[in-house]
């Protein structure tokens, strides 16, 4: 597709279950970001990929959170043993190769996670 695609768009799960969120970036974009946005809040950085490597994982809240990227394309964010405080919209974004315009991110519509 032409834009960043995320799935599922909505996910309701029970506390303690694992969830996987998927991101398909724009073709050719080597940089990929995950952000978390709680209701009414700003964007909280989680992790950044350059190619398949993650130079910055500093935003992952705990060891229950992990992410991987393969083929310099699809990325999966996994949350294990979900807690109610994990409820949020998880936004994925991608941008072009390293260079002056890498801050020009293109966002998906997000995956809304609700943990009951």
Partner 1 sequence: GQQLNQSPQSMFIQEGEDVSMNCTSSSIFNTWLWYKQDPGEGPVLLIALYKAGELTSNGRLTAQFGTTRKDSFLNISASIPSDVGIYFCAGQSRNFGNEKLTFGTGTRLTIIP
| Spatial separation of the C-alpha atoms in residues 20 and 76, rounded to whole Å | 6
Among 43, 73, 74, 76, binds partner 1 (CB under 8 A): 43
User: Residue count at the site for partner 1 (CB under 8 A)?
Assistant: 28
Residue written as token pair 């992952």: 60
Residue written as token pair 């949350």: 79
Q: Does 73 bind partner 1 (CB under 8 A)?
A: no
Q: Give me the least distance between CB of 15 and partner 1, in Å please.
A: 25
Burial class (CB in 10 A: 0-12, 13-18, 19+), 63: exposed
| Spatial separation of the C-alpha atoms in residues 103 and 15, rounded to whole Å | 35
- Is 82 or 94 the residue whose CB approaches partner 1 more closely? 94
Q: Which spans of this chain sit near partner 1 (rule: CB under 8 A)? A: 4, 31, 33, 35, 41-43, 45, 48, 50, 55-56, 58, 91, 93, 95, 98, 100-110
């Amino acid at each position: 597709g032409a834009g960043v695609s995320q799935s599922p768009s909505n996910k309701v799960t029970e506390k303690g279950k694992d969830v996987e969120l998927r991101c398909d970036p724009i073709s050719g974009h080597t940089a990929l970001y995950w952000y978390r946005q709680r209701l009414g809040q700003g964007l909280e950085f989680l992790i950044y990929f350059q190619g398949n490597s993650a130079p910055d994982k500093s935003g992952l809240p705990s060891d229950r959170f992990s992410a991987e990227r393969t083929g310099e394309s699809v990325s999966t964010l996994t949350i294990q043993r979900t807690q109610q405080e994990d409820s949020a919209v998880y936004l994925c974004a991608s941008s072009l190769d390293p260079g002056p315009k890498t801050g020009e991110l293109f966002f998906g519509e997000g995956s809304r996670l609700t943990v009951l």
